[in-house]
């Protein structure tokens, strides 16, 4: 990436930056797009400006907004753009597949190669099916688990996010007054419009609490088709599993004949070539992948044990989709996975992220601001609190307003990260020493500006 040779526009928002272009685009968007946005997650503000930033270009680790400000990007489309924006080699792969046609609605060779590559990288993946978004692949995995067991209840952890589809859009972020007791959390629909029957089938459990998990499994003994978890809680302050917790989960599911599903939509191919299950040494029965899988193109997959996936293979459990395994996205994914299979690439990403995480901790210490940075180098979150959360309910201890001030102070200094206080920062293979140095300086100055 030869950014030095480019004429650098403004890095970050100037002290009294005008965001005229973003503002005008938002006003225009609101006339024809519901709420002016294409996803509920994008209903965000930019410091005092009551509209999101419109990004018009990305290259490597950098993005540019419609007003010409440049940022080092740690959102990376929620971790999807793991090779960096507009990666030239990925571009060539996409172009050459485009020249052969984008999709035929038929079987194709690229989908075979991609399935083979996933099974090579993920130990528990014996058979694969493709879909297009995380939510879709989650629905496929849950249906496979229900078809396999003949049962309908799913155990979901409070605060874990498994997509916007009805099947699991429950207790994503319940408010304290509706969440119920820790030992028996209520199942709270994330949105109006969810059928009560679906909600009733999802039993909620707090994360990282083995005794409560066991009690809930006992209480509904023989009724669960699946337990589903984000092995690292990407959508909940990057909470790590307590030592031994994933092993306990595995053991309980095996003992009770429950399908264990790992939602590796964020962690897959990012935390290790074989995902979080390789990192922690705990295999799932079914796993769901997206984000890093496509390197920025829309593709997802669910994969797992042959005896479960065979039901889909035999067409007893149905799974379809016009765009499934389309060669354009599959070729992009194949290239991305080949790149990430080389341990040096993930190692480089991890080291860059660790340098940034450490800089945030150092800046917080220097300014005497209570901060916890948790997660791994390649994905982490910054919490303004003095106590690392163990599960969703601990997040009320973190100061979300201070995070918002920190984020805006970073935007002013050329660093772009997730607006949601409990989601993650992500690092890509394109983040180099220059990005890290710039970020370290921005973090120190931003922390100073919000201290006191």
Ligand X SMILES: Cc1ncc(COP(=O)(O)O)c(C=O)c1O
Please give the residue ranges that form the binding site for ligand X (CB under 6 A).
78, 133-135, 138, 161-163, 230, 234-235, 263, 265-266, 290
The one catalytic residue in 74, 161, 245, 392 is 161
Q: Which of 65, 263, 285, 394 is catalytic?
A: 263
**3-class DSSP state of 51:** coil
Name the minimum Å distance from CB 135 to ligand X: 3
Q: Tell me the closest approach of the beta carbon of residue 136 to ligand X, in angstroms.
A: 7
Taking the complex as a whole, the smallest distance from the CB of residue 109 to ligand X amounts, in Å, to: 25
What is the closest distance, in whole angstroms, from the C-beta atom of residue 247 to ligand X in the complex? 21
Separation between Cα atoms, residue 346 and residue 271, nearest integer Å: 8
Q: Which is nearer to ligand X, 46 or 300 (CB)?
A: 300
Q: In what order do the strands lie in the sheet with 70-73?
A: 55-59, 62-65, 70-73, 415-416
User: What is the rounded distance in angstroms from the CA atom of residue 101 to the CA atom of residue 327?
Assistant: 8
- Residue 154 near residue 139, CB atoms below 8 Å: no
Q: Which is nearer to ligand X, 163 or 295 (CB)?
A: 163
Active site residue 78: no
Question: Phi/psi of residue 387, each to 5°?
Answer: -130, 125
Long-range contacts of 95-102 (CB under 8 A, 24+ apart): 96/331, 97/327, 97/328, 97/331, 97/332, 98/328, 100/327, 101/327, 102/326, 102/327, 102/328
Write down the least CB distance from residue 162 to ligand X, Å.
Answer: 5
| The two structure tokens encoding residue 92 | 């060539």
Known active-site residue 161: yes
> In the bound complex, what is the minimum distance in angstroms from residue 75's beta carbon to ligand X?
12
Tokens in use for 347?
């190692």
Interacting residues of 79 by C-beta distance below 8 A, sequence separation 6+: 234, 266, 270, 291, 292, 379, 424, 426
The C-alpha atoms of residue 442 and residue 411 are separated, in whole angstroms, by: 9
Residue closer to ligand X (CB basis): 163 or 327 = 163
Identify the active-site residue in 291, 305, 394, 408: 291
Burial class (CB in 10 A: 0-12, 13-18, 19+), 364: buried
Give the residue carrying structure tokens 């009560």.
Answer: 196
Both tokens of residue 355? 């340098």
Please state, in angstroms and rounded to a whole number, the distance separating the CA atoms of residues 304 and 147. 14
Complex with ligand X: residue 12 or 140, whichever CB lies closer: 140
Q: What does the alpha-carbon distance between residue 288 and residue 319 come to, in Å, rounded to a whole number?
A: 14
Which of 182, 189, 257 is CA-nearest to residue 224?
Answer: 257
Q: How far is the CB of 419 from ligand X (least distance, A)?
A: 14
Q: CB of 164: closest distance to ligand X in angstroms?
A: 6
By beta-carbon proximity to ligand X, the closer residue of 297 and 436 is 297
Q: In terms of CB distance, is 271 or 412 closer to ligand X?
A: 271
Tokens representing residue 144 in the block = 């496979």
Tokens 């009294």 belong to residue: 16
Residue number with CB closer to ligand X (275 or 377): 275
CB of 12 or CB of 159, closer to ligand X: 159
* Residue 151: active-site member: no
Per-residue DSSP letter, 381: E
Q: Which of 374, 303, 290, 300 lies closest to 82, judged by CA? A: 290
Which residue sits closest to ligand X, CB atoms considered?
134
Catalytic positions, written as ranges = 161, 263, 291
């Amino acid at each position: 990436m030869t950014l030095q040779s480019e004429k650098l526009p403004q890095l970050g928002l100037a002290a009294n930056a005008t965001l005229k272009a973003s503002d005008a685009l938002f006003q225009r968007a609101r006339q024809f797009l519901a709420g002016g946005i294409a996803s509920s997650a994008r209903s965000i503000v930019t410091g005092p400006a009551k509209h999101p930033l419109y990004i018009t270009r990305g290259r490597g680790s950098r993005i540019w907004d419609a007003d010409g400000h440049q940022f080092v990007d740690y959102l990376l489309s929620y971790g999807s753009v793991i090779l960096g924006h507009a990666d030239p080699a990925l571009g060539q792969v996409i172009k050459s597949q485009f020249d052969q046609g984008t999709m035929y609605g038929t079987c194709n060779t690229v989908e075979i190669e991609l399935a083979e590559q996933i099974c090579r990288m993920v130990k528990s993946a014996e058979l694969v099916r493709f879909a297009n978004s995380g939510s879709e692949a989650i629905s496929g995995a849950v249906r496979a688990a229900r078809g396999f067991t003949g049962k309908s209840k799913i155990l979901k952890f409070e605060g874990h996010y498994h997509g916007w589809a009805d099947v699991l859009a429950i207790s994503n972020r319940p408010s304290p007054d509706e969440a119920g007791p820790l030992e028996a959390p209520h199942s709270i629909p994330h949105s109006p419009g969810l059928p009560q029957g679906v909600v009733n089938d999802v039993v909620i459990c707090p994360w990282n609490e083995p005794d409560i998990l066991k009690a809930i499994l006992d209480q509904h003994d023989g009724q669960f088709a699946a337990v589903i978890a984000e092995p690292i809680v990407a959508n909940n302050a990057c909470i790590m599993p307590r030592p031994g917790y994933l092993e306990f989960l595995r053991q309980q599911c095996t003992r009770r004949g429950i399908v264990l599903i790992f939602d590796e939509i964020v962690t897959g191919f990012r935390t290790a070539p074989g995902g979080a299950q390789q990192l922690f040494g705990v295999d799932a029965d079914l796993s769901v992948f997206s984000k890093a899988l496509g390197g920025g193109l829309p593709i997802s997959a669910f994969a797992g044990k042959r005896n479960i996936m065979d039901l889909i293979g035999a067409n007893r459990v149905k799974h379809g989709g016009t765009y499934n395994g389309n060669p354009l996205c599959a070729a992009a994914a194949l290239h991305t996975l080949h790149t990430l299979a080389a341990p040096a690439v993930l190692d480089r990403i991890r080291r860059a992220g660790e340098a940034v995480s450490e800089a945030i901790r150092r800046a917080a210490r220097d300014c005497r601001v209570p901060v916890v940075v948790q997660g791994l180098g390649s994905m982490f979150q910054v919490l303004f609190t003095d106590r690392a959360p163990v599960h969703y309910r601990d997040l009320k201890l973190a100061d979300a307003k201070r995070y918002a001030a920190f984020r805006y102070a970073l935007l002013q200094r050329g660093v772009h990260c997730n607006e949601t206080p409990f989601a993650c920062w992500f690092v890509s293979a394109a983040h180099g020493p220059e990005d890290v140095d710039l970020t370290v300086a921005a973090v120190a100055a931003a922390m100073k500006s919000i201290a006191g």
